[in-house]
Amino acid sequence: MHGKLLPLAGLYLVQGLPYGLQSGLLPVLLRAGGLSLTRVGLAKVLYTPWLLKLAWAPLVDAQGSVRAWLTRSTAGLGLVCGLLAGLPPPGAGQAGLPAAVAGLLLLLNLGAAVQDVALDALAVQLLEPAELGPGNTVQVVAYKLGAALAGGALLALQPTLSWPQLFLLLAATYWLAAALAWAAPALRRLPQPAPSKQRPHTAHLLRDVLAVPGTLWTAGFVLTYKLGEQGASSLFPLLLLDHGVSAPELGLWNGVGAVVCSIAGSSLGGTLLAKHWELLPLLRSVLRLRLGGLACQTALVFHLDTLGASMGPGTILRGSALLSLCLQHFLGGLVTTVTFTGMMRCSQLAPRALQATHYSLLATLELLGKLLLGALAGGLADGLGPHPCFFLLLILSALPVLYLGLAPSTFL
């Protein structure tokens, strides 16, 4: 099994680089180059290819092997980074992102989205059912480490690395990963795909994907299982900031502490699954624990506004609030790993010629579910107030626990 997990770890770590690059590093580089906050925000339009993964997932299924798609897309990302290294960085006085830089960043997102489809499909094909727990631990942990490296470590090195050096370093990393994807013995042993048939009509393709046992239930679950958690994780740190917790302290606990706790939770999830815990009972237990943690966090929100409540340094209330942040990230990592294992288990029931499309559908819905309430949470808090908003988030977190009662046998 280690022969499979080690190359997957390296490839998933590289897969996390674009997210960290564009969520953490790139905004700082663009702002330092003199772009307005509005222009920096508009750069998020470059994420568009990620929302269109389902458009080319059928191509990954129908044309060639997933290993070939993975190798070429990863090498292509290295080429794009090499081209970016040859362009001047955004400079002071520019009205916006230079067209050439914007075009290459769009290509970077396109290549990263194709790589994401191919790598997930490769993991679905490569891992045996008993290996899904450790495999998904590797997926979640390595991806988070890659994002942290690109968004944190490279940002820390940014004063000593010029724009060309930064992107040449990323290019070399991608080319090494492409060599790994092509040469790793475990990946070379994947069966070759059958000769491609005529590409099915989109409506027929969607019908075939939804006909895979357990797909409709799994799609509903991944769309909703993060609603309450994601809203709370977006709002709670901001409420602590409003009540006197400093930005550096919050950054430490909700940044470094959150990543460490999330990785620990993901690792525990994989360990429990590797010890032959049944997926559904484990998921039910973890969701109940998360619900309890959010109930405690909701109680803290109510207590923050009571007369005499103090969030001063060293107070029990301050310590409880910061620890609750870490607890929710720990449980969130645990829930994510177990859920991703269920997604892969469901996709393995699909015919090999549909597996990339099937998993991409579930992954896209999972992303939409996380983005939905994370984006709306602030508006809900402003419109309803923090107390009703957190009570609503608590109800939303209870729904997945109830939904598990409808789980088909394929999710067991």
Whether residue 82 is predicted with pLDDT greater than 90 in this model: the reply is yes
Q: Please check whether residues 10 and 99 belong to one and the same domain.
A: yes
Q: How much is the pTM?
A: 0.78
- Determine the pLDDT at residue 249: 74
- Would you give the end-to-end CA distance of the chain in angstroms? 22
Per-residue confidence band for 215, with pLDDT thresholds at 50, 70 and 90: very high
* 276 or 180, higher pLDDT: 180
Q: Please check whether residues 105 and 254 belong to one and the same domain.
A: no
Q: Please check whether residues 74 and 216 belong to one and the same domain.
A: no
Section 20-47 average pLDDT: 69
Q: Please check whether residues 206 and 178 belong to one and the same domain.
A: no
Q: Please check whether residues 251 and 171 belong to one and the same domain.
A: no
Q: Please check whether residues 247 and 367 belong to one and the same domain.
A: yes
- Among candidate residues 179, 199, 219, the one where a domain is terminated: 199
3 state SS of 63: coil
Q: Give the pLDDT confidence of 228-256 residue by residue, as tens digits.
A: 887 788 778 878 877 777 767 776 777 77
Q: Please check whether residues 220 and 194 belong to one and the same domain.
A: no
- Determine the pLDDT at residue 41: 63
The whole domain housing 366 covers 200-411
Q: Where are the beta strands (DSSP E) in 217-350?
A: none
- Among candidate residues 148, 177, 199, the one where a domain is terminated: 199
Rounded (10°) angle between helices 215-224 and 355-384 = 30
Q: Please check whether residues 292 and 405 belong to one and the same domain.
A: yes
- Determine the pLDDT at residue 207: 86
- Among candidate residues 163, 178, 199, the one where a domain is terminated: 199
Range from 151-155, 279-283, 320-324 carrying the lowest mean pLDDT: 151-155
What total number of domains does the chain contain?
A: 2
Give the whole-number percent of the chain exceeding pLDDT 70.
82
Can you give the CATH number for the domain in which 224 is found? 1.20.1250.20
Q: Please check whether residues 186 and 254 belong to one and the same domain.
A: no
Longest dimension (CA), the chain: 72
Q: Please check whether residues 321 and 398 belong to one and the same domain.
A: yes
Cα–Cα distance between 185 and 240 in angstroms, integer? 50
Query: Which range is most confident: 94-103, 144-153, 397-406?
Result: 397-406
Q: Please check whether residues 114 and 237 belong to one and the same domain.
A: no
Q: Give the pLDDT confidence of 306-362 residue by residue, as tens digits.
A: 756 666 777 888 888 888 888 888 999 999 999 998 899 899 888 888 888 898 889
Q: Please check whether residues 220 and 154 belong to one and the same domain.
A: no
Whether residue 19 is predicted with pLDDT greater than 90 in this model: the reply is no
